[in-house]
Amino acid sequence: MGKKVFILFPDGVGLRNFAFTGFKEIGDKLDFDITYWNNTVFPIKETLGFQELKIQSTRIHPQTPVLSHARKRVELALSRKRTNDLVYNTYRFPLKWNSIKHFLKSTFVTYHERFSATQKGWQQLMDQMYAAERSTSRYQEVRKQLIEHQPNLVFCTTQRATQAIAPILAAQDLGIKTACWIYSWDNLPKGMSTIETDYYFVWSELMKRQLLEYYPKTKPDQIFVTGTPQFEPHYDTDILLSRKQFCEEHGLNVATKYICFSGDDQTTSPLDQYYLEDTAVAVRKLKEEGLDIGIIYRQVPVDFTGRYDEVLKYYKDVITPIAPLWQSMGKGWNEVMPTKADFARLVNTCYHSELVVNICSSMVFDFVIHDKPTIYPNYEQPQLRRGIRDIGQNYEYVHFRSMPDREKSVIWAYDKSDIYKGIKGLLDGELNPVPITRQWYGFVNKPESPEKASERIWQEINKILN
């Protein structure tokens, strides 16, 4: 057996990239000895048959969340000062003041945001957070596991999780090399990194520049640009169903043209159900004009609010829900786990839809791989009240500045009537943002052979270990 690599899952977000793609198979062919170091409730060995080492204790230090919140606020304050750009204020989650406990935590965070917004202040918070995690019994548990199994590298599948801190520190304290995958295209400007590793793997040259900008301690030779495995299944033609199979499976009509409405989480789009309703109204109007058209509604997997129920019931003549195949393995939203079967469902939903309507997610890229366009609604709903977040601020975020041509990268709906016009124009062939969307996809992902991201990650791991 070759070099021993631990793939660390501090939470379930890495499963899609590193357990359900061909990532493990490629590593096996290159003779790596791969163990999934599993901190989640997802049973990797039982479900996938992969070698697994469970981390039993998931209890982080009680101070870690508040230290991490202060660290994030300090990072955002540093970015704001450096760039003179107020967008960084919009990345802050509201503080709570409604109990003594919340008051003390919020006071701590506010104090550091104001008085520790320097590189030195940031470093002190990181050091405090690391010291807290090193003092836990969890740190001792993961350290023992590393001493027993002696991996050559720990590869962490996300930089966001505080659950990753103790395992990464334990590896570094034992002189084991560490690497980290930057999980999402929007994470770096948002101050979402809780760990520091020897090496970083990113989607694109754009993300590499951002990593160097936001984390100035990082050096260019620590960063590998590989593309992301997230989109690899879209290039696998073996998982495509015929039109007949897909329609039979979901009670759809073969001749009908379907548009997909891809739902969003409550934080990003708190009034998402009303955008689905506006889309249903537009589709009903197009049907009245003689177009054979319907909507496939794909909910965001972690939304259990029931907020779409009334809309789905009232517009059942035009909306067919095709639920994502995720499994709930506990009570929290973070214990809802993806499944491999959902990759095939997502790919087929993209392939058999004409276009997608969605609030500002990376679903735009899932669809453009299949040459399908996106409509982004960007208008306020009348139900918007004080305390409800307007979706418009999402489109001002730093990651949307990567669009090669903001007005032409997608179809914008600045008013509910624009959804009707957008669908009609796209189906008529009068509108076509796809060539520009493809350019955008090439900026946020590695443009050459995007289907070979897993291969490139293993090649770079090989370089690190040799």
Q: Write out the DSSP string of 125-154.
A: HHHHHHHHHHTSHHHHHHHHHHHHH--SEE
Select from 326, 347, 340 the least CA-distant residue to 241: 347
Question: What's the fold here for domain 4-60+136-228+450-465?
Answer: Rossmann fold (3.40.50)
- 42-62: pLDDT as tens digits: 999 999 999 999 999 999 999
For 258, the token pair is: 């379907």
Q: Which long-range contacts (CB under 8 A, 24 or more apart) does 272-278 make?
A: 272/307, 272/308, 272/359, 273/307, 273/308, 273/310, 273/311, 274/311, 274/381, 274/383, 275/357, 275/359, 275/377, 275/381, 276/308, 276/311, 276/319, 277/311, 277/314, 277/315, 278/377, 278/416, 278/419
Give CATH 3.40.50.2000 domain extents, the chain.
4-60+136-228+450-465, 233-444
CB 109 within 8 A of CB 71: no
For residues 369 and 356, give the distance between their C-alpha atoms in angstroms, rounded to a whole number.
12
The domain 233-444 is placed in CATH, from the list 3.40.50.1220, 3.40.50.2000, 2.60.40.10, 3.10.180.10, at 3.40.50.2000
CB 212 within 8 A of CB 86: no
Confidence of residue 328 (pLDDT cuts 50, 70, 90): confident
What pLDDT is stored for residue 333 in this prediction?
A: 58
Which whole-number Å values give the CA distances from 458 to 159, 230, 290, in the listed order? Answer: 18, 15, 52
For 195, the token pair is: 């760990």
For residues 202 and 223, give the distance between their C-alpha atoms in angstroms, rounded to a whole number.
7
- Residue 266 is which amino acid? Q
Q: What is the mean pLDDT of residues 260-275?
A: 92
pLDDT exceeding 70 applies to what percent of the chain? 99
Confidence of residue 332 (pLDDT cuts 50, 70, 90): low
For residues 181 and 243, give the distance between their C-alpha atoms in angstroms, rounded to a whole number.
36
Four-residue CA torsion sign, 393, 396, 398, 402: positive
Mean pLDDT, the chain, rounded, equals 95
CB 162 within 8 A of CB 156: no
* Residue 147 neighbours by CB under 8 Å, 6+ apart: 174
Q: What is the mean pLDDT of residues 426-446?
A: 97
User: Helix 64-83 and helix 119-134: axis angle, to 10°?
Assistant: 160
Can you give the C-alpha Rg of the chain in angstroms?
Answer: 23
Which whole-number Å values give the CA distances from 342 to 60, 206, 210, 346, 353, in the listed order? Answer: 31, 29, 31, 6, 16
Confidence of residue 338 (pLDDT cuts 50, 70, 90): confident
- 233-254: pLDDT as tens digits: 999 999 999 999 999 999 999 9
What pLDDT is stored for residue 287 in this prediction?
A: 97
- 270-314: pLDDT as tens digits: 899 999 999 999 999 999 999 999 999 999 887 878 999 999 999
Q: What is the mean pLDDT of residues 194-222?
A: 97
- Entry pTM: 0.95
Is the pLDDT at 85 greater than 90, yes or no?
A: yes
